[in-house]
Structure 1
Amino acid sequence: MTAAAELRSGKGHKDENFPVASHLIHPRYRAPILAFYNFVRTADDIADHESLPAQEKLDQLNRLEAELLGDGDTQPEAVALRRALAERGLEPRHAQDLLTAFRMDVTKLRYENWDDLIHYCSYSAMPVGRFVLDVHGEDRATWAANDALCAALQINNHLQDCGKDYRKLNRVYVPRDALETAGVAVEELGAAKSSPSLLACLRKLAERNEALLTQSASFSSQVKDMRLGMEISVIDAFARRIVGLLKTHDPLCEKVHLSKGEMLRLAALSAAAEFGRRMTGTKSMPRLSTGA
Structure 2
Amino acid sequence: MATAAGSTTAGKLASGKDHRQENFPVASIVLKREQRAPIMAFYRFARAADDVADNPTASAAERLSVLAAMRSTLAGESDESEEARALRAVLTERGLTPRHGLDLLTAFERDCTVARYRTWDDLIGYCRHSAMPAGRYVLDVHGESQATWPASDALCAALQIINHLQDCAKDFRALDRVYLPLEMLAENGAEVGDLGGPAATPGLRATIEQMATRTDDLLGQSASFAAQIRDRRLSVEVAIIHRLATSLTARLKTRDPLSQRVHHRRREALWLAATAGLSRLAGRS
* Common fold: TM-score over 0.5: yes
Work out which of the residue numbers 98, 104, 110 in structure 2 matches 1:98: 104
Q: Which moved more, 1:98-107 or 1:260-269?
A: 260-269
- Listed one character per residue, the Cα deviations across residues 80-101 of structure 1 (whole Å, up to 9, x for unaligned) are 1000000011000000011000
8 Å Cα contact 2:70-2:80 kept in structure 1: no
Q: Which moved more, 1:2-11 or 1:22-31?
A: 2-11
The yes-or-no answer on 1:4 pairing with 2:16 is no
Q: Distance in 1 between matches of 2:50 and 2:191?
A: 28
The yes-or-no answer on 1:207 pairing with 2:213 is yes
Quote the offset at 1:72 in angstroms.
3.6
- Give the match for residue 31 of structure 2: 25
Q: Distance in 2 between matches of 1:33 and 1:265?
A: 24
- Give the match for residue 74 of structure 2: 68
Q: Which amino acid aligns with 1:65?
A: R
Q: Distance in 2 between matches of 1:200 and 1:249?
A: 11
Work out which of the residue numbers 224, 231, 237 in structure 1 matches 2:237: 231
8 Å Cα contact 2:8-2:62 kept in structure 1: no
- Give the match for residue 289 of structure 1: none
8 Å Cα contact 1:4-1:42 kept in structure 2: yes
Q: Distance in 1 between matches of 2:106 and 2:79?
A: 21
- Listed one character per residue, the Cα deviations across residues 35-70 of structure 1 (whole Å, up to 9, x for unaligned) are 000000000000011111000000000001111122
DSSP 3-state at the match of 1:44: helix
DSSP 3-state at the match of 2:261: coil
**What is the RMSD computed on CA atoms of the aligned residues?**
0.9
8 Å Cα contact 1:5-1:75 kept in structure 2: no
8 Å Cα contact 1:213-1:236 kept in structure 2: yes
Q: Distance in 1 between matches of 2:68 and 2:79?
A: 14
Work out which of the residue numbers 104, 118, 123 in structure 2 matches 1:117: 123
Q: Which amino acid aligns with 1:99?
A: L
- Give the match for residue 271 of structure 1: 277
Quote the offset at 1:74 in angstroms.
4.3
- Give the match for residue 92 of structure 2: 86
- Give the match for residue 284 of structure 1: none
Quote the offset at 1:162 in angstroms.
0.8
Q: Distance in 1 between matches of 2:240 and 2:228?
A: 15
Work out which of the residue numbers 160, 165, 171 in structure 1 matches 2:166: 160
Q: Which amino acid aligns with 2:27?
A: A
Unpaired stretches in structure 2, ≥5 consecutive residues? 1-6
- Quote the sequence identity (%): 51
- Give the match for residue 191 of structure 2: 185
- Listed one character per residue, the Cα deviations across residues 246-272 of structure 1 (whole Å, up to 9, x for unaligned) are 011001111111111111111111111
- Give the match for residue 3 of structure 2: none
Count of aligned residue pairs for this structure pair: 279
Quote the offset at 1:3 in angstroms.
2.2
- Give the match for residue 149 of structure 2: 143
The yes-or-no answer on 1:46 pairing with 2:52 is yes
DSSP 3-state at the match of 1:107: coil
Q: Distance in 1 between matches of 2:99 and 2:73?
A: 14
8 Å Cα contact 2:69-2:80 kept in structure 1: no
Q: Distance in 2 between matches of 1:265 and 1:99?
A: 34
Quote the offset at 1:4 in angstroms.
1.1
Q: Which amino acid aligns with 2:249?
A: V
DSSP 3-state at the match of 2:112: helix
Q: Distance in 2 between matches of 1:212 and 1:64?
A: 31
Q: Which amino acid aligns with 1:50?
A: P
Q: Which amino acid aligns with 2:200?
A: S
8 Å Cα contact 1:98-1:125 kept in structure 2: yes
8 Å Cα contact 1:155-1:209 kept in structure 2: yes
Q: Which moved more, 1:63-72 or 1:140-149?
A: 63-72
The yes-or-no answer on 1:173 pairing with 2:179 is yes
